[in-house]
Structure 1
């Protein structure tokens, strides 16, 4: 579709405001506008369009109250698209004229024939709106609100800046008002530190003597006696008036007025040292577990990140091939990633880790070298990646006092966990007590104290039962929801490779002559990262 021109016409078809979008000379434009007036008067019964075969144009028009919105297109233009464009013109012009003439952008105000002169006054505003809709004869993909925003030069950044400036101005006014109120309050309450009430109090006697010498010294005897008598009466009256004084009371510091609450910073990260490399060749499978458990013990989410580390302290083991016990190295649920210097094809096809370049050697500095990484995400209620399941029972005892019973169960691969912390997000102003040790012996589970950034810290030296329970009582707690989430940290070291939650283990090690190496150490370390009961 190509729109040659658009204009607003009155009831008789005479154009009021017109805009050409293609290269048309003045005479041709005037001819087309005049021709519409003639054809419109003679062909009103034909509908909302007029085809002029002689001029090779089509007029499409639509009434806007007492006026008409008219488009001039060529005969080859798609009339359906032209009608949509005409409707957009009519809607935009109607809204714009309501805004310009009656300051009512949100409500439709009927246009009257008497508004023709006002429309002519706002001709350039209408032309600018026409240019937003049509560019070089082709319609832009815009809607009426966007066109009006562009016409009003509305800008998101400017709007936010104005809102921010107004907010700052209101805040400054509030601060100024508050400061004035504080100053007035201090002025009313403070008063004078010391003041006396009395007539003539503090008058300088030299001034009185000077006044007497300047006037009464030359007066008659009776006048001098009258002046002296009046001064004596004033002195007696001042003595009879009680004197008042005000002194601001001294504030005495009371040691009980200020109470400092102190809390110690407690390390809740379970620590464990790497085992000693006594054989000269050692492998450590390190697995970090994140999980979110419900209070009922359901597993909402779980994730495991694993690393296979190699430590070599003997030069004779610097060129080895490591065969892993993995069902399918290409299994995407593990997302295995090998070290850049490891032969990836050998691992994916045969499950063997060896150097890509046979001329290179593994370092023998007895430092941990990660040769394989993997990541596994468990599904809901998948217990495979969760070494410790927890069920919490909360029982209200009194107002702001609760009893928390924690029931735990170890994964079937584990008989114990070396160290574990339970962190309950309590305020330090509350008190707590382990009221039931359950399956723990005395001293195996204790309350370490409060940490200002974490909460109540409970430390279990070792969980050596497959399942068990313990109970703690806390008070000064707002609600049950303030007891959660309970954060759990733990760590465990085992020389049993079957304790790997992802079932990754070293099954065989070969030297450069493809001879099997029997003596090597293999360990599994699991550690929690983001382990919570919500």
Structure 2
């Protein structure tokens, strides 16, 4: 058989789509379709083909349209009808309402399916399932390349953040009169003035010893100023990396850090890590036999207007067993968990039966003769990761935005940070919410007129900046803000603003446990405890 063209027309003769598989001009195809309309109007509706002097039309009506194959007269009519039936099946997979607009909207897919079925006028040995598979074929190489590009973008973003923080720190040091080693080496006068080498100092003083009185006065002033700054830098450098002691009810003035009053019942770990300013000391939860943990970490970057630059979710499912009689367990995940969702990139431990996990949502050991470790240590059995698209809020528990307004004096800014719980999260409570503004100023103040959530300045630290703690937890669908006045003359020095928080009894991925049973007897269930937490790693406003 030789198929010259495949077309879709209306019953009134209006051509909608046509694909030519031989050397036919558009005018010739239009002429053939016009002849078909004249021929089909004079024959019985029971026929499925019609012929003229040169070609044969094999057609099939559906609703108000015709699917037409134009073949030569010597073509095998049986094969033509089978080909027409395959065309009809593929078109039905793209068109549901059978109107002209839907056919036009899916024209590219329909014509692509025509090309899969017919090659150079001859039918390929395919069925409708294979045609659908070929049309939806995805490139594994392209996916790998997209993942590599995303990783490069994330690495570049992290490097840009690091450099921006370094530039902001140097700028703040310059404003505070702290001279960096580069600055000391860059200015020969200050370098020599602050040098402890007696030969250098004697040569420096002897030069000004024969100068005029004004030059001598300048020499004394310069020598004192830079010697003082150099000593200040040495003090600052010696304090870097040391833990900051938090004093209850008082201020810490020895190193220039200010610590606000902290409740006696609150124990924060102040070791330079931003996240630990808002999270309590890690206490190992009690294990009554079987303890299951779902721990998820969120990374997200927001623009200042609230739009999302990037978002990423990482999660791990851990098992802790402290009794050998409970080690032969079988974990059944909840039916709502879609383990075949490729966007989450689920990856099971090598010792876990992967086929059983994907097909039955069961977590069990691959070697059925062995049991889970029962040394009361956490064992990660499942990991997952998902990268959100731009402006995708599905991975973002709290949406952030900022408003920065310069004061009339020109030496400070009014900064308002808005936060809102994602509407898709119902029944959650956000705890330990806080923000860090990378400006180590000593005169930042909270605007009490816009302080519905009891925000306080926990500390102003030279290493990280202004640490703000939100005192009240956030409930579902709540919106809040915190406003403060920050001294400064450059808006970009206020960013990036980092955020930290924790959410308990919740999972973005929806991972949940249905039951825990004995491996060899699934009717015998085990009692277990389940902990689900969401924390942050890099969650900021750029």
Larger radius of gyration: 1
